[in-house]
Amino acid sequence: MTRTVGLSASPVDGPATKPPREAAATVSPARDARPNRRARKGNSDAMPQYTSDRPEDRLSIRLLQAFDVCFARIYHRVNVVSPQRLPKHGPAILVCNHVSGLDPMLIQSVCPRLIVWMMAREYYEIRLLHWAFKTIEAIPVDRSGRDLAATRAAMRALQAGRILGVFPEGRIETSRELLPFQTGVALLAQKAGVPVYPAYLDGTQRGKEMVQAYLYRNCATLAFGAAIETPQGGSTSKEMLQAQTDVYAEAVLRLRAATERAYPRRHEK
């Protein structure tokens, strides 16, 4: 502000009470064998083009990060239970549970590295926000089908040394129970050979509609975990990807327990 192999469709997805809207690593056949020119052009133009430079050094990124810090940590409030451990250089994947549309800004506000988020195309193309999303190299995902282009863009981001942010539940959770993690992160990590860093987020933004979450002041708690290394030369079978995905989910659950110990009264309900 994601069933072959799933990826989170958006950091501002709908609540879990709505039907899941997913982006995945394969593309469903088009209804029309000759898709219209506008659709083809929109898909190709929207995907970010990654360079080898450090995006954090760009003035536009620094200005957006400064705004984010003021908005997320001064207007809202973020209590960090354990600090972020993302690498200073090189690619990695950040996985976190998903409780509101405000989540990406809260997480980014305490991370010096730019996080490249995957997000629903309908939000990416909002005119007033499109420039900002394009500047931070967000990856638009078509939620109406299986989006191979978004998966390729995610791989290019990792190959360019970026931090890729994914909500592996694929949609917003409204209860305090994690939704099942989808295995797209494990496949990306295996293909790119990058570590995965877990995080857990909770706060008063949970259960609010996107506009409410942004406009009304919230107090959030955030915990980061150590890197989970990706086995080199590992199998990409369904069973192995699921086993690795379970490791990520367990790491997030451990961070949830640490957060609840640090702020017990906020998690009594």
Task: List C-alpha distances in Å: 7 to 60, 95, 150, 210.
Answer: 28, 11, 9, 21
**Mean predicted lDDT score pLDDT of the chain:** 82
Confidence check: pLDDT of 165 > 50: yes
Q: For 49-80, how does the pLDDT look when each residue is reduced to its tens digit (9 = 90+)?
A: 777 788 999 999 999 999 999 999 999 999 99
Q: What is the pLDDT of residue 266?
A: 61
pLDDT of 190 higher than 50: yes
**Fold assignment, 6-24+52-264:** Glycerol-3-phosphate (1)-acyltransferase (3.40.1130)
Alpha carbon distance 237, 139 (integer Å)? 26
More confident residue, 87 or 33: 87
Name the residue with higher pLDDT: 263 or 112: 112
What are the residue ranges spanned by the domains of the chain?
A: 6-24+52-264
Query: Can you give the length of the chain in residues?
Result: 269
Top pLDDT among 1 and 233 is at: 233
Q: Per-residue pLDDT averaged across 86-107, rounded?
A: 95
Confidence category of residue 7, pLDDT binned at 50, 70, 90: low
Task: Tell me: pLDDT of 103 over 50.
Answer: yes
pLDDT digits (tens, 9 = 90+) for 8-21: 434 444 444 444 33
Q: What percent of the chain has pLDDT over 90?
A: 54
Q: What is the pLDDT of residues 227-261, one digit of tens each?
A: 999 987 777 899 999 999 999 999 999 999 999 98
pLDDT of residue 19: 40
Q: What is the DSSP string of 88-118?
A: SSS-EEEEE----TTHHHHHHTT-SSPEEEE
Beta partners for residue 219, in sequence order: 77
Residue 36 has pLDDT above 50, yes or no: no
